[in-house]
Amino acid sequence: MNEYIKEIVTDEKQLEQPTEKIEVGKQFKDKNNHIRFEFKNNEEKEYIVSCLKNTLREHKNGLGLAAPQIGISKKAFVINFNGELKTYINPTINAAEDMYLNREGCLSFPDRQFLVPRYNRIKYTAMDPQGLVLQGQLFGMAACVFQHEFDHLEGINISEIGLEIDEDFDNASDEEKDKIFKTFLESVKKRAEETNKQIEADPELKELSDAIKFETAKNAGLVQTEKVELTKEEQEIIKEQLEKDEE
């Protein structure tokens, strides 16, 4: 048996666990002036990529596969682009536009279908297995698959954010389907509003939310940061404070 072919995880609780970044080390520019990173544990990275690709090839109906779906709690996934498997390591979504409802299945939820709110266009940053920094845009189905796999890395299951549908939905009239779409989107909007209220009411959550928004905007190039040199006096003050904290 191929050691790189893994069983698909179907336990929802296990899939809810957050993942960790694949650690990188030194940053450098290659001969083409592209930014790359060295991986601290190249053997581990190669193993994860091989497992993802080999396992996805065993599932002909799969469009993508994330590391936690094969029991590896790391931020990496592969997407099948018409037979070409592309790997994304430590990905982020920097911008998204045009939300709509997409019909999706999932290898971790076999024989089940869901309507899921997705963005039709996204901008992303990630790394490939050679440590090359990738920045790009995806549209339509490719954007949906990227978001689906990215959710897995965040411990978000399709069953949490989607509306499960069955054959009754397929047999419904267009008018009935439109009503289902509208009701579901309204419930999604209401949940988002309630979550935002909870964040605004909790100072710690508000601070964390603001930090995430700032980091996202910085990654998308919407804000600029600059390095500020501290004076000798300021450095001494910080040093004294750190020494006090250690005591």
Active-site residue list: 149
| Alpha-carbon distance values, 84 to 80, 150, 152 (Å) | 6, 19, 21
